[in-house]
Structure 1
């Protein structure tokens, strides 16, 4: 499917809801409308539903908050979660999964994914690797409860090199084991721009092909693609080099040529804020610069008025129309703004995301 021809054919929707698209279904990550420890999941689901989204990516910390609430209700004295035994913690996780599924069903929301299953592949410690496999088995149970087609998102590890190995064969071996452990639940592997050993979409796609399991695919994220090849928040220009545009164009051409859309389980959309290169969160000791930027300064697409400057539309065209993708497209931002404790924050963020979605769909339709 070409990026550069075609026209919009769908009628305009009510202005209060994201536009329904023949090929793309609108979702949003629960972390993107409020912090789990500040904004209750019920409040966030209400905001998401009222703003017309039909799917969510469930952040595991939101599930944990529901689990702790359920346990507190069953206990005369709320306990310290750090002192709970593993069996009890897993029991309340499972209860929380059923409760979240019920809440989503009431709001006609589809649970797209459970995420993120962080820092798994390449672990040097054998006992820690075995523990993580047990944890993945637990997540698989949760995903099965949450829905028939929920996938688990595995971002590339950003643990230090003293804790992980970057040998490609070892990474493939670990992720093959993960796919077999989770089967038939799907796993989506995502290259984080600050990943220790895997930080480009090309590397994650190579691993997906080598794992070669039907339930193991890729997640493509506009922020991570841009941050990996085009952006550098510590420079005055915000770009990685004078060749940033050319480097990105070549990368997107490879993506459109090489990636099988059937192996793409989700598309995530986010822009990045142009920030002061001396911002403290970019210079935290022992933390990757791009991680600090990502956690504090993502924006929804088309929020240039808030400082957005990444070539999100160009990347979005490539990862959707360019490869012939159809399915869930999720708004996924992490931002310091979600930690604002005002009760209206979830509604504000969900409304921002809905406006962003409408503009994105209209822009993508022009190139179909």
Structure 2
């Protein structure tokens, strides 16, 4: 399987600001062949049918699928299934499982088999007990295996995750779950943003950043089974002029700095003129060349620019994303 370019729907503009159909159109016209659908986009579309109940969500899903088919866009997955693992309130856990059953119906309409689960970043009502986390993931995996066709899950470590914030911790869980439909998504931002970068530091880097990243990537290549990598996300981020601490415009009390940074400051690859500075190309090289990943590569991005009401935002983001993808393909000879 060759590498195929995808883009996340939210990276073309916030759901409440820009029309989803316009975002899909611009992704297709730019040259993307696949797209990740954010649940938030689906919910906003469902509101035009009334409440966001199961019936209206499924109707909205059918509308999205038809639009993507018309534009020759493959839906690679639905994300993010938020705040799932390690919940201490087991009644809330049961609610999540019931919601997941609706997600199963949605992805079948989409024509995909993939749901992405990011690591939990709640600070309340969540446990770091790895046995509990593993058991929660086994539960969803087994439910997914009962579906026809089976549903796969891509677990992703967020750099600001409360208990799972590195690929190493994520991989331990994937290994212990040990189910054929339970794998991972590797994200260059979440890798570099944890081990190499630190938005609260003056230079935007962690102590011993280069050495630590080199060691981390060598360990990843030697440890991770590429068959368990269901897709990758490749994106950069902005180096801030001042540390993201109290008083910074992006600072949010009781919100991890890396989360605030992620929500406001991601950039596409090679956008050095906008402040991009993470070693993303090298990480992408390790994932595609050394680890040997082939498959979907998503240019997922979050940025304050997505909230700009200018109707050109979906187009400019799509064009920026495909430009980055084509340059990466050329540089790495993908």
Q: TM-score range by the shorter chain?
A: over 0.9
Note if contact 1:117-1:155 (Cα within 8 Å) is conserved in structure 2.
yes
CA RMSD of aligned residues (A): 1.2
Match of 2:70 in 1: 106
Offset, 1:265:
0.4
Offset, 1:345:
0.5
Q: Distance in 2 between matches of 1:326 and 1:150?
A: 18
Match of 1:235 in 2: 201
Alignment partner for residue 268 of structure 1, among 227, 233, 249?
233
Q: Does 1:154 align with 2:107?
A: no
Alignment partner for residue 53 of structure 1, among 32, 44, 65?
32
Q: Map of 1:163-312 to 2, 5 A cutoff?
A: 163-183=125-145, 184-241=150-207, 243-279=208-244, 280-312=248-280
Offset, 1:23:
2.0
CA radius of gyration, larger in: 1
Q: Distance in 1 between matches of 2:294 and 2:249?
A: 36
User: Which structure would you say has the larger RCO, counting Cα contacts within 8 Å and 6 or more residues apart?
Assistant: 1
Match of 2:96 in 1: 132
Q: Which residues of structure 2 form unaligned runs of 5+?
A: none
Q: What CA deviation, in whole Å up to 9, does each residue of 1:177-212 have, x standing for no partner?
A: 011122311110000000000000011111111101
Q: What CA deviation, in whole Å up to 9, does each residue of 1:237-256 have, x standing for no partner?
A: 11011x11000000000111
Note if contact 1:281-1:292 (Cα within 8 Å) is conserved in structure 2.
no
Q: Does 1:30 align with 2:31?
A: no
Match of 2:20 in 1: 41
TM-score, length-normalised on structure 2? 0.96
Note if contact 2:201-2:243 (Cα within 8 Å) is conserved in structure 1.
no
Q: Which residues of structure 1 form unaligned runs of 5+?
A: 1-21, 72-83
Q: Distance in 2 between matches of 1:345 and 1:120?
A: 32
Q: Map of 1:17-96 to 2, 5 A cutoff?
A: 23-71=2-50, 84=51, 89-96=53-60
Q: What CA deviation, in whole Å up to 9, does each residue of 1:54-90 have, x standing for no partner?
A: 000001111111111233xxxxxxxxxxxx4xxx611
Q: Distance in 1 between matches of 2:320 and 2:35?
A: 16
Offset, 1:282:
4.4
Runs (4+) off by over 4 Å: none
SS of 1:321's equivalent in the other structure is: helix
SS of 2:289's equivalent in the other structure is: coil
Aligned length: 327
Q: What CA deviation, in whole Å up to 9, does each residue of 1:260-289 have, x standing for no partner?
A: 111100100110101133453543111011
Q: Distance in 1 between matches of 2:189 and 2:18?
A: 24
276-285 or 244-253: bigger deviation: 276-285
